[in-house]
Amino acid sequence: MRFDPNTPVVVGVGQVSNLPHSEGEGSLADRPEPIGLMVEAVEAAIEDCDGVCPGGAAPAGRALTGRAESLRVANPLSWHYANPGDLVAEALGIEPAQVMVTTTGGNNPQRMVNATALAIGRGELDVAVLVGADCVYTQAAARRHPDRPVLPWTVQPADTGPALTFGTDRRGSTDAEEERGLDLPIHTFPLFENALRAEAGRSLEGHRLHIGSLWSRFSEVAAGNPHAWLREARTADEVATASAANRMIDYPYTKLLTANMQVDQGAAVILCSASAAEAAGVPRDRWIFPLAGADTEDHWFLSHRADFHSSPAIRLGGSSALSLAGVTIDQVAHLDLYSCFPSAVQIAAAELGLPDDDPARPLTVTGGLTFGGGPGNNYGTHALAAMVGTLRADPGSLGLATGLGWYMSTHSIGIFGTDPGPPPGTGPDAARLPDGTVVESAGGFSWADPQAAVGGLPQCSPDADAQGEVTVETYSVAYGREGSPERAVVACRTPEGRRAWANVTEPDHLAVLVTEEGCGRLGTLRADGEIDLR
């Protein structure tokens, strides 16, 4: 089959999971730092370009990487590097003309794939390497260790030139939201979860079992993933029942229902043009084609969301990407929905038209951020690496992956296949896209930005000074390490329909929120920001 020589293809992927040593084996100071895992991941991707290659020579992969024009790095959270891309390039012995580093956001790896595929399709790039790694496990273990070992990780000179920045560098919360405690994902995503339960009409116990079953299925996928951090299948009760080993973090999330950041993991992807892959001699069965993608944002701040159980951005972004690929969601065989928390998966599945309990079509190819591992900004690279392997094993199939940044704020979607997209001049019908959607197509890859349609949808008006009668919309209840609820953040609606934020610290009221349905309950919002529930 002949196609545009600028057609973008994924030709190599690599993953590394540096699991904890057995007790008494090795020292924390000897464990690799993030840069080391990035280099290992790229080396694995180099070898993957050639498939099984005796002795690790990988001539095709090394030829491609040696001529890489762009090195694009998901910024690690466990260590600050002035320019991590320079260190990776130096270790690999390559000299890319361009080095990029992402901002914070789990959407950035997929967004970077979309941007890279477009650049290759337009002929602006021929070969690019995308990589990331984080070592939060080692960093946290060093802090907990009684000897407080110093990790000998690289500190670059003060005059190190910065890399180009990729992504949106924007705070995730307003002052009013942060004042009430919406400062971390673990305090924010329960707002979506409790709203989903109320919208579905489930009891507290019924919903606990629902998300436990969902996450149990994710653990089963991780059990078969050689790169997963936690490789033991768990039952729904094991996942969703609080215990000494699985404490409640923020209702209704136990530890095993949250993203597992304490991992040491790295992943890399080599993207190039079809002509570069052919010239290097990459076997055709290694090629995976990015077919279509979309990037968009929900109303950015939580205060402005129309509700907490939907995502118009995923709905319109997903439908746009599927339209550009010329397929329906029923034709997509393999999925990886960004899975920092169960609410993220449930919302994405609903917006894409997927059941969240289909045993024949799991919603993850890795096991998700709890069991597969949640290495900071770089989970999406692991998702794509796993998706590439899954697609290669199922010729003719399609895969869809999503990325998510901040608090269900920004979203990236990619559709991939073992076969190329439509030839030039026979691309997708733009009439099927939401009004105002920006579309770019090059080299058989198409990308959509339906932000005009998303931004035009209704949004809520905040009221930071609200007092008096309010209705509880949803809530998040943070627990202390001893196992008792300590503080709730409550999203309220005023009689005028505006959104206000409140706290609950009174023990009896906290107990109500974790034993009875709190959504829809009436209360009185006081001047000090506390709400008295009725």
Reported confidence tier of residue 23, pLDDT bands at 50, 70, 90: low
Residue 3 pLDDT greater than 90, yes or no = no
pTM reported for the whole predicted model: 0.96
Residue 159 pLDDT greater than 90, yes or no = yes
Closest alpha carbon to 476 in 450, 513, 445: 513
Helix, strand, coil percent content, the chain, rounded in steps of 5: 35, 25, 40
In angstroms, rounded to a whole number, what is the distance separating the alpha carbons of residues 405 and 223?
26
Highest mean pLDDT among 171-175, 214-218, 463-467: 214-218
Closest alpha carbon to 524 in 467, 439, 485, 464: 467
pLDDT reported for residue 147: 87
What DSSP state is assigned to residue 165? E
> Across the chain, what does the average pLDDT equal?
95
* Beta strands, E only, 190-300: 248-251, 253-254, 264-273, 289-297
Tokens of 392: 């290669």
Closest alpha carbon to 430 in 441, 422, 417, 439: 439
pLDDT reported for residue 26: 74
The Cα-based distances of 211 to 19, 190, 197, 302, 481 in angstroms read 27, 12, 10, 23, 22
In angstroms, rounded to a whole number, what is the distance separating the alpha carbons of residues 388 and 366?
11
Residue 234: which residues within 8 A CB-CB, separation 6 or more?
A: 215, 216, 219, 256, 371
Tokens of 16: 């590394």
Vertex 475, ends 469 and 476: CA angle to 5°?
A: 145
Tokens of 340: 């920092």
Residue 207 pLDDT greater than 80, yes or no = yes
If you average pLDDT over residues 267-280, what whole number do you get? 97
pLDDT reported for residue 434: 93
pLDDT reported for residue 309: 98
In angstroms, rounded to a whole number, what is the distance separating the alpha carbons of residues 340 and 359?
20
Residue 214 pLDDT greater than 90, yes or no = yes
pLDDT reported for residue 427: 55
Which contiguous run of DSSP H or E holds residue 119? helix 108-121
Q: Say if CB 298 and CB 408 are below 8 A apart.
A: yes
If you average pLDDT over residues 511-523, what whole number do you get? 97
pLDDT reported for residue 426: 54
Residue 323 pLDDT greater than 80, yes or no = yes
What DSSP state is assigned to residue 115? H
Query: 375-427 pLDDT, tens per residue?
Result: 999 999 999 999 999 999 999 999 999 999 999 999 999 999 999 976 544 55
